[in-house]
Amino acid sequence: DAGVIQSPRHEVTEMGQEVTLRCKPISGHDYLFWYRQTMMRGLELLIYFNNNVPIDDSGMPEDRFSAKMPNASFSTLKIQPSEPRDSAVYFCASSLAGVNTEAFFGQGTRLTVV
């Protein structure tokens, strides 16, 4: 398997624009996570899915953020409208079911909102 695949790797956009980040988890994994990493706040869990169903979105900072998982092999994180403070690296990760199985991370999307 190629691992968790994210696109794009880099995104630069203007404030107010819509941004969509994409993720393909490892085939057969039951869980998918979206994280945001900044110097100030570290790695924050935004939302996670189990078998394509959102389980906990309490980490989503505002209504401007939304995430979907229409099928087992694809998820999106959308920011609309984007703001400069959304600039960060966004990671997608996936894992198998089981209490102690590790999460595998994608290479991340570095988002810059100007």
Partner 1 sequence: GQNIDQPTEMTATEGAIVQINCTYQTSGFNGLFWYQQHAGEAPTFLSYNVLDGLEEKGRFSSFLSRSKGYSYLLLKELQMKDSASYLCAANNFNKFYFGSGTKLNVKP
Q: Which residues bind partner 1 (CB under 8 A)?
A: 31, 33, 35, 41-45, 48, 50, 56, 91, 93, 95, 97-108
Q: How far is the CB of 80 from partner 1 (least distance, A)?
A: 26
* Cβ-contact 75, 61 below 8 angstroms: no
* Cβ-contact 72, 57 below 8 angstroms: no
Q: How far is the CB of 20 from partner 1 (least distance, A)?
A: 20
Phi, psi of 86 (to 5 degrees): -80, -5
Count of CB atoms situated within 10 Å of the CB of 80: 13
Q: How far is the CB of 16 from partner 1 (least distance, A)?
A: 28
What the block records as the tokens of 31 is 């869980």
Nearest to partner 1 of 14, 106 (CB atom): 106
3 DSSP assignment: -
